Amino acid sequence: MGWTYSGSLDPSKRGEFYDHQVVSIRVELDAWCCVQPERATAPVLPHAQLARKLPVTALPKLNPVVIKPRLSDRAAAKFIRLPAVEQMRILREQKFPKNAPQVFKTPYYQHGRSAIRELIERGEAGLANARAIVQAIGNPSRRMHSMRVLEQFWASEHASRGLKLVTWKRYLFELGDVELRTSPDLLALQGDDLRFIYFNLNAEEQDPEVARMTLELAHWIMKENDVDVRPEQLEFIDLFTGTLYRGKKPRQRTIELMQENAKLIESFWPSIDP
């Protein structure tokens, strides 16, 4: 028996699950490792000749399997609001990454983020170099969107806020077997106040609820790591619309949704097939 589901993994919307059993996935190597022995009547060959005569058994490439589910605060916020079918697709692609379309394995906006950092560090003096970073991108579509991101940031008020970049680390928090992590695009000082800044770099408006939940989860993860941070130190900047979302005190409902979804992810993870 397998398991069936209906509805959403969001506890407020999900249906019921039946006959849930963990499916163990095993890879059988025997057939790949065995080489048929030479027939008894075959002449005895020197080792070098024998190596050339024996058939070569090609080992098929094994797709890597991610043992433990991991979600960034931003991905977790999006995940909670997705319907069940989309949630399961995301989990399957994360567990078996080679089975997902391998498009832009390098983060799509990596060069755009680097260009923004160049502008923050050097201001107008860094504009030419920031544009050169983007112009070096080989893929035309990727280059176009990264340039859009750069120009949107340069035209926004945030380019002249006097931000000073500082080094930072990601904070991790485990909910059972599910690992959550913070994922701000940059950490900067504005005056003496530290800011954890997230960007919407996509060519579409940011979902306001996802933005708020991202900041709530980030604040929660950092508090669990004993980081002294105020909600208003977290920002989500939608470069597409120019909207700035500031962190607010996390809602208890957001934390509960994350905890309940983590339990569901943990229970489904072993039985997700390629």
* pTM confidence score: 0.73
Specify the pLDDT at position 94. 86
Query: Do 234 and 250 form a contact (C-beta atoms < 8 A)?
Result: no
Specify the pLDDT at position 52. 53
Specify the pLDDT at position 99. 54
Specify the pLDDT at position 106. 53
- Listed residue (51, 20, 55) closest to 34, CA to CA: 55
Specify the pLDDT at position 28. 31
Element (DSSP H or E) covering residue 128: helix 127-135
Specify the pLDDT at position 18. 31
Which residues of the chain carry a pLDDT beneath 70? 1-64, 99-106
Specify the pLDDT at position 55. 54
